[in-house]
A = this chain, B = another copy of it.
Amino acid sequence: MINTTLKKLSEVSGLSISTISRALKNHPDISEKTKLLVTELASTLDYEPNINAVHLRTKNSRLFGVIVPSISNFFYDSVIASLEEEGRKNNYSLMILQSGDDPEIEAANIKLCRQNRVNGLFACITPETKDIEPFLKLKEVDVSVIFFDRVPERSDCHKVCVADIDSASMAANLIVEKQKKKVLALFGNSNFLITKKRFNAFTEIMNQHSIAYITAYSSSEIHAEELTNECLTLKPDTIFCMTDEILTGVMRAIQKKQLKIPDDIAVIAISNGFIPTLYYPQITYIETSGKKLGKLAFQSMMATLSGSTFIQDRTIESILVKGGSI
């Protein structure tokens, strides 16, 4: 059997298609009697509007695209959840796309957004994205792009990020406060602007207080674990982890070596908040909330959609969540 359409409702009821259409959307031209008749008929026949036809006709998809590296990620998970929640409130749907950090898939995703005539796009770019022209070209067809988390360096686009400098400073200052002497600091992908900023902020404070430190970059759990194993020979008293992935790798190494936290070694991380709570004592971390980011990104989107030409460049401030790891 085929789907119920306005035409079918029209045939069954004897009313015209336009009357049916108007009755279903509570148009004042239609009498209450007719409305009741039509809505009842529609529900018994399980009528659902064909959204393709609606969007084609109205030229409004009420759809946002969102491109993330992967949905299997504590941080992007919560960003998506938050975007969806806001979207639901405002009657927008989400088309979730994963880039896998592959620029080619990213390009294909942008194409999908165009084909689907999204009203807006939330984008988190890959480490290898050199050319953001395809994103900016979307503006020509009236779709606004909000970059989030991993954003291009140029200033003529909307951005929403978690605190870069502040979060690293907070971690560094806590290390200072706890009078630590030798720090192993592990940072994420060095291609990202956020990594550079955090690196600079962190090391600056270390330098100011003449705290010895070793730094390294790592983008995977396994690599972080290996790095930790190597560097533990240098006897650091503290390890700083810029991401959840790094933290899990570091913790594997620490646990394997049976080191006691925080006595043998202290740990502090920047995290979305789940992983640190799995250990005992729980890991002290600087929270970078995906939920807050999603909410703010949505606000920016709504602002540009309602005509604001102002370039949005916002930051989520971090908070310190104390565990017992330092």
Please report the C-alpha to C-alpha distance between residue A17 and residue B140 in the assembled complex, in whole angstroms: 23
A contact residues, range: 35 or more
Once A48-B115, A50-B56, A52-B56 are accepted as A-B contacts, the answer to whether A72 and B61 lie under 8 Å apart by CB is: no
How many copies of the chain does the oligomer comprise?
2
| Docked-complex contact A142 and B1, CB < 8 angstroms | yes
| Docked-complex contact A61 and B52, CB < 8 angstroms | yes
Cβ-based interface call for A10 (8 A): no
Q: Which of B1, B51, B98 contacts A140 (CB 8 A)?
A: B1
CB distance from A214 to the nearest CB of B (A): 23
Cβ-based interface call for A322 (8 A): no
Q: Which of B50, B116, B277 contacts A51 (CB 8 A)?
A: B116
By secondary structure, the A interface counts as: helix
Please report the C-alpha to C-alpha distance between residue A95 and residue B96 in the assembled complex, in whole angstroms: 8
Q: C-beta contact mask, A137-174 vs B, less than 8 Å → 1, else 0? A: 10011100000000000000000000000000000000
Please report the C-alpha to C-alpha distance between residue A275 and residue B81 in the assembled complex, in whole angstroms: 21
Cβ-based interface call for A191 (8 A): no
| Docked-complex contact B98 and A84, CB < 8 angstroms | yes
Which residues does chain B contribute within 8 Å of A278, judged by CB atoms? Answer: 248, 251-252, 275, 278-279
